[in-house]
Amino acid sequence: MSRNPAAPLKIGLYADKFQPGTFGGVDSYFVSLVTALARHAPQHQYTVLAQARNYDLLQAQFGPLGVQVHLLNTRQPVKRLLRGVRRLIPGVAKGETAQINALGFDVVSFPRNEVYVRGLRAPVALHLFDIQYEYYPQFFPPAALDNIRRRYRESAARADLIVAAAEFSRQTFIEKLNTPPEKVTVVYPGVPEDWQTPTPDAIEAVRARYGLPDDFLFYPANPWNHKNHARLLAALRVIRDQTGRKLPIVFTGRLHENSPANLQQLALAARVDDQVYDLGFVPGDDLPALYGAARFMVFPSLFEGFGLPLLEAMARGCPVACADATCLPEIARGAALLFDPLDVDAIAAAVLRLWDDDALRADLCAKGLVRAREFGWQAAIEKLLGAYQSLVGRARLHPDTR
């Protein structure tokens, strides 16, 4: 019997390792996605599939929105024995597969880069952000590189639909993962409706809370290698050597023990440590005012699958200077000052130009606000649910024995 296309969907969303303050933009996307689904398409039934370690957090986050949060039983003996192996062999615990199948979903969505469960009866949608490892393998230890390459390739093959956050990312999946083009659809993440430009009082409060100067550059990013902190700090040193000016810079986003680089050591190596304000991980409620307090945001990342901070900055009225690389020009589309992220002198020139040019900052601020409004969750959810709907009733691309 064919399914009524207008009937509500029953959608499972696999939360897996969700834990605020550990995975940065991926966690932010997950919260925004589920929230937008509940707000813009409440006729469908959403169930977040949680683990014991994050059930309470997810229940508090999504329960008030009417989203069900289902605790997967992960205490079977096989799971205890293979807990460390599970992340290397997705879905190795058959008990979890059976639990999800028993819930009778129309679609099971994995919004966090990997398909962790094998043998599902329902069609599988994978939200894959980027495959940076294919372009910058030097940033990964050899053992980790082999592991992530295998996991991502298997996940992409296992999925019935891959959701990309940008056209650039879609093309990389097609090129590097040999994914059929018709299997990958682009759905830009949206800007939440409550993203507003911060008030002057909020800006002054956050400036006082963190002891920040009147003017500063802002870079919200965990110091992974691809985030390019070292070249940005070197560019500040170039400015200092050439002009004698010490431009203050504020960093946020360090994710506790997950940081591979010590930002203080990088600043010391560049000899600009007296210009650096390293706030580490800050509450999300403080971010709008930090964007509002900044003279502008600089984003020199070498590789991004979407680049959410660009939207965050533009929606809060913060001018942007960013790398002319990967998806960033696609997202900015004329609303940011672009520079070569591999050229320290080019970074320095862009930073100094935007710092000194009041008219340019005002122009980018205005263009950024317009551009950010083009990323609405209503349209994103309609497109995403249309893609999900196309999966319903379709035979799995692979049998359950895979």
Both 154 and 87 in one domain: the answer is: yes
Both 53 and 75 in one domain: the answer is: yes
What pTM was computed for the model?
Answer: 0.88
CB 361 within 8 A of CB 295: yes
CB-based contacts of 253, cutoff 8 Å, min separation 6: 24, 220, 221, 222, 281
Task: Match 């403080």 to its residue by tokens.
Answer: 286
CATH number at residue 365: 3.40.50.2000
Exposure b/e, 16-40, CB count within 10 A at least 16 = b: bbbebbebbbbbbbbbbbbbbbbeb
396 falls within a domain: no
What is the total residue count of the chain?
402
The values of phi and psi at residue 104, to 5°, are 65, 45
398 falls within a domain: no
Over the stretch 200-257, which tens digit does the pLDDT of each residue have? 999 999 999 999 999 999 999 988 899 999 999 999 999 999 999 999 999 998 654 4
1 falls within a domain: no
Residue 342 to residue 376: CA distance in whole angstroms: 32
Both 350 and 256 in one domain: the answer is: yes
Both 126 and 15 in one domain: the answer is: yes
3-state SS, one letter per residue, for the chain: CCCCCCCCCEEEEECCCCCCCCCCHHHHHHHHHHHHHHHHCCCCEEEEEECCCCHHHHHHHHHHHCCEEEECCCCCHHHHHCHHHHCCCCCCCHHHHHHHHHCCCCEEEECCCCCCCCCCCCCEEEECCCCHHHCCHHHCCHHHHHHHHHHHHHHHHHCCEEEECCHHHHHHHHHHCCCCHHHEEECCCCECCCCCCCCHHHHHHHHHHHCCCCCCEEEECCCCHHHCHHHHHHHHHHHHHHHCCCCCEEEECCCHHHCCCCHHHHHHHHCCHHHEEEEECCCHHHHHHHHHHCCEEEECCCCCCCCHHHHHHHHCCCCEEEECCCCHHHHHCCCCEEECCCCHHHHHHHHHHHHHCHHHHHHHHHHHHHHHHCCEHHHHHHHHHHHHHHHCCCCCCCCCCC
CB 155 within 8 A of CB 114: yes
Tell me the two tokens of residue 359.
């008219």
Task: Give the chain's radius of gyration (CA, Å).
Answer: 22
356 falls within a domain: yes
Residue 86 to residue 385: CA distance in whole angstroms: 30
Both 136 and 231 in one domain: the answer is: no
Both 145 and 231 in one domain: the answer is: no
Q: How many CB atoms lie within 10 A of CB 77?
A: 8
Both 293 and 338 in one domain: the answer is: yes
400 falls within a domain: no
Structural domains in the chain (count): 2
303 falls within a domain: yes
Both 56 and 160 in one domain: the answer is: yes
Give the pLDDT score at 253: 80
Q: How many CB atoms lie within 10 A of CB 254?
A: 22
195 falls within a domain: no
Q: Which residues of the chain have pLDDT under 50?
A: 1-2, 76-93, 256-258, 260, 399-402
Tell me the two tokens of residue 142.
């050899």
Q: How far is CA 88 from the centre of its chain?
A: 22
Both 267 and 231 in one domain: the answer is: yes
83 falls within a domain: yes
Both 321 and 271 in one domain: the answer is: yes
Range of the domain at 255: 200-373
Both 95 and 235 in one domain: the answer is: no
Both 237 and 217 in one domain: the answer is: yes
Give the pLDDT score at 83: 47
The values of phi and psi at residue 48, to 5°, are -85, 125
Over the stretch 279-306, which tens digit does the pLDDT of each residue have? 988 888 899 999 999 999 999 999 999 9
Residue 142 to residue 134: CA distance in whole angstroms: 13
